[in-house]
């Protein structure tokens, strides 16, 4: 489909080029030719006037030669006078002029490979004497040859130009279509993944409700297990649809951000408050390291969503007794928000894929769990960061060595929001490049390996939809 499109684009540009080139070169050639021929005709006319004047004054036609190019004349008036040195050529021209039927014109004449321009002026006709005339003749082979050469050059340059334009046009259009091709493929994958992800909970709900309906004589309590399953999957479905909607809107740029001054510290403390109970239930310590208010301009709801995703992941993938630290630090005109845990960690080979949509490190594992991630959280987090003109990076020393996610945001995100849109477009082409930041595991932000064993039972309930 894209190959055909790029061929069509190339053909279109080539046709346009041919039309433009033809019009331009035809116009230039016509102007030049008319200018040159005008000069030749002016010399013939001048010679004609001289010949006529001298013939009238002296009875003998003559005119001072103007040198090169030489102009000759023929007078046919009761005899033929001519100044053409080549008698053979003279008789050929005379023959041509005798058979002419015109009231006076410029003629082109070719003999022995040479080209001549002739001004033919008929005189008043004498009875029984044939048609008297005066003609001035000039050998303009050189001029005609130059014009012909010019025509050849124009056609050759045009042909090469069209060939080159077709080649370059094809390569360029192919290259220009690449992001669209990638986005298209990505879109197809996204739709396929989304329908697959939607089908799973729907099937679970259907089968569990099916069981309940088969036992209509039993109490609700007796069917609680099936109802619970259906309910839990319905919640997961709702979260999935919500996430998909967010991503679809972000892709089509139909998700306007509501810029307002925000205190990040206050926002972090609020999300910490929301997650405290969940973390406690899991035996994870949630601590905040934001020494002072950090004011930025951003979209409060989206940044809240970003924090929820990161904290939810950190708690979800931590073991009992684990520790999650949220810190925000300001440096010059940007702030660095980092969420660090000492939990399960991520294998190095998976680090650059966790921002992919629907990517979960171990899909089979997450399906079994109550937390059942959709694999969309970090994609949304990346969108939020980039829509604010910021960047997001993830770092882990490997399985069992904890994870740190770092978000770099400009203080005035609104000013950076436009370029972020473009980056978002790039990002949606599937070319995910993370970690985007310098390693957050630098000495000033170390990850302390705590529990090397990667647990498979994160026990955070379905609270990852941005509003726990």
Residues contributing to the site for ligand ADP (CB under 6 A): 309, 313-314, 317, 341, 343-346, 354, 359-361, 366, 373-379, 403
Q: What's 173-198 look like in SS3?
A: HHHHHHHHHHHHHHHHHHHHHHHHHH
Number of other residues whose CB lies within 10 A of the CB of residue 188:
10
Cα-only R_g, the chain: 44
Q: Whose CB is nearest to ligand ADP?
A: 373
Give which of 325, 394, 366 is closest to 460, Cα–Cα: 366
**Nearer residue to ligand ADP within complex by CB, 298 or 345:** 345
- Supply the minimum distance, in Å, between the C-beta of residue 429 and ligand ADP: 18
**Nearer residue to ligand ADP within complex by CB, 140 or 197:** 197
Which residue reads 């892709």 in tokens?
251
Evaluate the CA torsion angle 20, 22, 23, 29 in order and state its sign.
positive
**Nearer residue to ligand ADP within complex by CB, 120 or 383:** 383
DSSP string covering 354-407: TTSTT--SSHHHHHHSSS---S-HHHHHHHHHHHTT-EEEEE-SSTTS-EEEEE
Q: How far apart are the C-alpha atoms of 380 and 418, rounded to whole Å?
A: 18
- Supply the minimum distance, in Å, between the C-beta of residue 17 and ligand ADP: 48
- Supply the minimum distance, in Å, between the C-beta of residue 353 and ligand ADP: 8
Q: Which helix (H) or strand (E) holds 106?
A: strand 105-111
Q: How far apart are the C-alpha atoms of 383 and 390, rounded to whole Å?
A: 9
**Nearer residue to ligand ADP within complex by CB, 309 or 411:** 309
Residues in the chain: 468
The residues with which 455 forms a beta bridge, in sequence order, are none
CB distance 448 to 402 below 8 Å: yes
What 3-state DSSP class applies to 220?
A: coil
**Nearer residue to ligand ADP within complex by CB, 413 or 464:** 464
- Supply the minimum distance, in Å, between the C-beta of residue 398 and ligand ADP: 11
- Supply the minimum distance, in Å, between the C-beta of residue 388 and ligand ADP: 18
**Nearer residue to ligand ADP within complex by CB, 373 or 390:** 373
CB distance 296 to 264 below 8 Å: yes
**Nearer residue to ligand ADP within complex by CB, 340 or 388:** 340
Inter-helix orientation angle 300-316/377-387, to 10°: 140
Query: To 10 degrees, the CA torsion angle through 71, 75, 80, 84?
Result: 0
**Nearer residue to ligand ADP within complex by CB, 337 or 344:** 344
Q: How far apart are the C-alpha atoms of 119 and 45, rounded to whole Å?
A: 7
- Supply the minimum distance, in Å, between the C-beta of residue 375 and ligand ADP: 4
**Nearer residue to ligand ADP within complex by CB, 118 or 279:** 279
- Supply the minimum distance, in Å, between the C-beta of residue 344 and ligand ADP: 5
- Supply the minimum distance, in Å, between the C-beta of residue 334 and ligand ADP: 23
- Supply the minimum distance, in Å, between the C-beta of residue 299 and ligand ADP: 19
**Nearer residue to ligand ADP within complex by CB, 267 or 306:** 306
- Supply the minimum distance, in Å, between the C-beta of residue 246 and ligand ADP: 12
Strands 403-410 and 391-395: antiparallel
């Amino acid at each position: 489909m894209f190959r055909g499109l790029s061929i069509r684009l190339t053909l279109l540009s080539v046709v346009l080029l041919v039309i433009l080139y033809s019009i331009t070169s035809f116009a230039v050639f016509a102007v030049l030719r008319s200018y040159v021929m005008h000069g030749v005709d002016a010399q013939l006319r001048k010679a004609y006037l001289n010949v006529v004047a001298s013939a009238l004054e002296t009875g003998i036609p003559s005119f001072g030669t103007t040198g090169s190019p030489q102009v000759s004349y023929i007078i046919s008036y009761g005899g033929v006078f001519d100044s053409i040195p080549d008698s053979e050529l003279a008789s050929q021209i005379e023959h041509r002029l005798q058979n002419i039927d015109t009231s006076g014109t410029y003629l082109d004449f070719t003999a022995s490979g040479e080209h001549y321009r002739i001004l033919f002026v008929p005189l008043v006709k004498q009875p029984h004497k044939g048609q008297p005339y005066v003609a001035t003749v000039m050998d303009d082979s050189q001029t005609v040859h130059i014009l012909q050469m010019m025509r050849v050059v124009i056609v050759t340059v045009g042909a090469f130009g069209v060939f080159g334009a077709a080649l370059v046009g094809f390569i360029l259009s192919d290259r220009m279509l690449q992001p669209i091709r990638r986005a298209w493929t990505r879109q197809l994958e996204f739709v396929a993944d989304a329908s697959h992800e939607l089908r799973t909970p729907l099937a679970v709900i259907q089968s569990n409700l099916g069981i309940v309906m088969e036992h209509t004589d039993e109490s609700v309590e007796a069917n609680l297990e099936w109802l619970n399953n259906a309910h839990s999957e319905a919640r997961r479905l709702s979260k999935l649809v919500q996430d998909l909607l967010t991503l679809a809107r972000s892709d089509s740029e139909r998700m306007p951000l509501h810029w307002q001054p925000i205190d990040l510290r206050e926002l972090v403390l609020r999300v910490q408050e929301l997650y405290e109970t969940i973390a406690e239930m899991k035996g994870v310590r949630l601590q905040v390291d934001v020494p002072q208010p950090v004011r930025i301009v951003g979209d409060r709801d989206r940044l809240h969503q970003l924090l929820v995703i990161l904290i939810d992941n950190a708690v979800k993938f931590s073991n009992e007794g684990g520790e999650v630290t949220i810190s925000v630090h300001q440096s010059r005109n940007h702030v660095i928000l980092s969420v660090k845990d000492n939990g399960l960690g991520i294998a190095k080979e998976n680090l650059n894929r966790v921002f992919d949509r629907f990517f979960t490190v171990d899909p089979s594992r997450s399906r079994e769990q109550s937390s059942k991630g959709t694999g969309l959280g970090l994609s949304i987090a990346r969108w939020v960061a980039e829509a604010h003109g910021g960047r997001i990076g993830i770092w882990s020393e490997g399985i069992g060595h904890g994870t740190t996610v770092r978000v770099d945001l400009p203080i005035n995100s609104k000013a950076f929001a436009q370029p972020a849109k473009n980056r978002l477009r790039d990002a949606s082409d599937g070319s995910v490049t993370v970690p985007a930041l310098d390693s957050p595991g630098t000495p000033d932000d170390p990850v302390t390996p705590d529990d090397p064993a990667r647990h498979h039972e994160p026990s955070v309930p379905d609270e990852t939809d941005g509003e726990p």
